[in-house]
Structure 1
Amino acid sequence: MSEERRLQILRAIVQDYVSTSEPVGSKALLERHQLGVSAATVRNDMAVLEDEGLISAPHTSAGRVPTDAGYRLFVDRLSQVKPLSRGEKAAIREFLEHSVDLDDVVDRTAKLLASITQQVAVMQYPSLSRSSVRHIELVPLTSHRLMVVLIVSSGRVEQRVLEVSEDLLTSEGETLVADLRTRLNAESSGRLLSEAAHGLDGLAEEFAEDDRATVRAVVQVLTDAMAEQREERLVLAGTANLARTGGDVVHLAPVLDALEQHVVLLRLLSTVNVDAADAVAVRIGAENPYEGLHSTSMVTTSYGTGAVAGLGVLGPTRMDYPSTMAAVRAVARYVSEILDQ
């Protein structure tokens, strides 16, 4: 019972400190929360919490603030993540549904997440290596020019144009294009790009000898597109929000330096646990492997079918964790729905 009561007091201290940014004393706890115990009991429990390293005194006042360990226990013991309101969910969906292409989706998502949480939003572009083939389209442009279109699950669209020797506008050419389109999608749709590329080996041998040169050219273009290595990219939004945190981020320069080093953020996003649906990872203070981020917390998750990339927010450890976790999870879910359309 005493352990549960101390957890209740810790929860109250975290909530009050996040709300007021002022150290929390026993008198304030009794006034703001229905704890059902005496002032002496609250003081004793706070002393135990301090001995356990869950709260600390920033100076000689009677107030206490949560430590990184205290925030961690608070997050781990959350019975449920605070849900967003129906209006908030509708606003997210409407804002993201107006996106015109993948770049716009990423840009809108980062700005939206920064606006909702008032933190720095970080969003990774969908990783091509973890994407699968959604559809392959072949479009004759002229009698001897063919556009090959690769559409992947992440929302990316790759286009290549190649010259072929056959006349694509004749009845025989149209039949070849239709048959090849059907076979390409039968072999590739729903498969990871690396698997799809391997599955196209030998496809040309299944066509008439006169058509094999064209088929090989198309397969080569698709294989190159599927195997092409791309530089991982990030989009940041809301960096100015760090300036509004007051003294919460003790050393601002190292944090800004870390934000400029995208490789650091990519590494953090890549280690999100994607095994569970809607998994949200929270790194608090020194749990961040990069020393420059030790005065911050990161709340991240993955998005897209097969968890193709990550997104999240970075802010001070004095963060509204339930609301931030809910926002990150909800935005990721809507982005996934849009990319899967």
Structure 2
Amino acid sequence: MSTAGEVAVNAEERRFAVLQAIVADYVSTQEPVASRTIVERHNLGVSSATVRNDMAVLEEDGLIAQPHTSAGRIPTDKGYRLFVDRIADVKPLSSAERRAVQTFLDGAVDLDDVLRRSVRLLAQLTRQVAVVQYPTLTRSTVRHVEIVSLTPARVMLVLITDSGRVDQRVVDLGDVVSDDDIAAVRGHLNAALVGHRLAAASAAVAELPDKVPGELREVVITLSTVLIETLVEHPEERIVLGGTANLTRNVADFPGSLRQVLEALEEQVVVLKLLAAAQDPGLVTVRIGEENEVEDLRGASVVSIGYGAGTVLGGMGVLGPTRMDYPGTIAAVHAVARYVGDILSGR
């Protein structure tokens, strides 16, 4: 004999099944979903009258809405949020899809190529806009410092991080410096910086002029100043964006203006803010509609993740309408991030 509590739980689960059905059908058809359609397409084992009652409760709870006078309903931002929060098992990519991802990314020749390929791949897999942030210098570790002589008094200073990022600056030394002295300075810089996090490297660089022979001090001061000012304290944030044309396929999905969304995506600061929540490798963050801080993107959803093996090097994700295939998008973002993390960590 069922207790009142069991009946309440069963009714709640059934209503969630109705919500799932509405989300699935609306994502695939872009049409409001009627109770009759749910009964025909989804084996819920209940009558149309029961489904109509469940839809009335879901609407009262703000999980679905009636866009016009038709009998159909569509999910609200709140409904999508409940759906996403209760995705217990995200369907993983198939083995063929995983092989294709790995093969495509393994063919990359350097960091720039890895990130360009990642964006292209994410945009193709999700059919949304994809964005990948370059590894942030503050989270990286110095792998090598190189000094290349361009003229007797001018050098190129190259900083290579463990994430494969390469930053370079041309530096005028103000005086002629011999190859032997350049080699000695290179040795001192590498001894002070290699293996250190850039976030804490400025202190080591600042102390270096006092630790080198007198004849190298001026050169070291000049190079240390460049390192501190341009590479350590003010790391350049860079992003790669791809698939913006995917947004134009369904202009009706954006209740405001698609132009506002596209203009927001052109602002690098805005895009970096979208990825700010992606702090944990392997943990996917989903922001739906009004949950987005950026006003022009409140008709969109953002699925993001941090990439890196153990340490987050940067963020990546996709942006699209709230009418999104969330399980498929989450699976694709998770898989691509994992492969990128493995590649950049040298696994």
Q: Determine whether 1:61 maps to 2:66.
A: no
Aligned equivalent of 2:321: 316
With normalisation by structure 2, the TM-score equals 0.83
Instruction: State whether residues 65 and 76 of structure 2, in contact with CA within 8 Å, keep that contact through their aligned partners in structure 1.
Output: yes
Amino acid of the structure 2 residue aligned with 1:242: L
Q: Determine whether 1:255 maps to 2:261.
A: yes
Aligned equivalent of 1:303: 307
Aligned equivalent of 1:327: 332
Instruction: State whether residues 152 and 176 of structure 2, in contact with CA within 8 Å, keep that contact through their aligned partners in structure 1.
Output: no
Amino acid of the structure 1 residue aligned with 2:271: L
Amino acid of the structure 1 residue aligned with 2:51: V
Q: Distance in 2 between matches of 1:167 and 1:253?
A: 56
The 1:327/1:196 distance shift into structure 2, 3 A limit, reads same
Aligned equivalent of 2:246: 241
Instruction: State whether residues 242 and 249 of structure 1, in contact with CA within 8 Å, keep that contact through their aligned partners in structure 2.
Output: no
Instruction: State whether residues 187 and 200 of structure 1, in contact with CA within 8 Å, keep that contact through their aligned partners in structure 2.
Output: yes
Local SS of the residue matching 1:200: helix
The 1:49/1:160 distance shift into structure 2, 3 A limit, reads closer
Once the two structures are TM-superposed, the CA of residue 60 in structure 1 deviates from its matched residue by 2.2
Aligned equivalent of 2:121: 112
Aligned equivalent of 1:285: 289
Aligned length: 333
Q: Equivalent pairs: percent with the same residue?
A: 54
Local SS of the residue matching 1:247: helix
Structure 1, residues 269-318: CA drift from partner, whole Å, max 9, x if none? Answer: 22x141x4411111111112233222211111222353232221111111
Instruction: State whether residues 281 and 307 of structure 2, in contact with CA within 8 Å, keep that contact through their aligned partners in structure 1.
Output: no
Q: Determine whether 1:200 maps to 2:205.
A: yes
Instruction: State whether residues 209 and 221 of structure 2, in contact with CA within 8 Å, keep that contact through their aligned partners in structure 1.
Output: yes
Local SS of the residue matching 2:158: strand
The 1:76/1:147 distance shift into structure 2, 3 A limit, reads same
Instruction: State whether residues 119 and 131 of structure 2, in contact with CA within 8 Å, keep that contact through their aligned partners in structure 1.
Output: yes
**Can you give the 5+ residue segments of structure 2 that lack an aligned partner in the other structure?**
1-9
Q: Distance in 1 between matches of 2:191 and 2:319?
A: 43
Structure 1, residues 148-169: CA drift from partner, whole Å, max 9, x if none? Answer: 5321133221345666867545
Amino acid of the structure 1 residue aligned with 2:13: E
Q: Distance in 2 between matches of 1:89 and 1:3?
A: 36
Local SS of the residue matching 2:234: coil
Once the two structures are TM-superposed, the CA of residue 323 in structure 1 deviates from its matched residue by 0.6
Q: Distance in 1 between matches of 2:177 and 2:264?
A: 54
Q: Determine whether 1:265 maps to 2:274.
A: no
Q: Distance in 2 between matches of 1:62 and 1:56?
A: 11
Once the two structures are TM-superposed, the CA of residue 239 in structure 1 deviates from its matched residue by 1.3
1:130 to 139, 148, 164: 139
Structure 1, residues 79-122: CA drift from partner, whole Å, max 9, x if none? Answer: 02221112212222222222233333332222221111111112
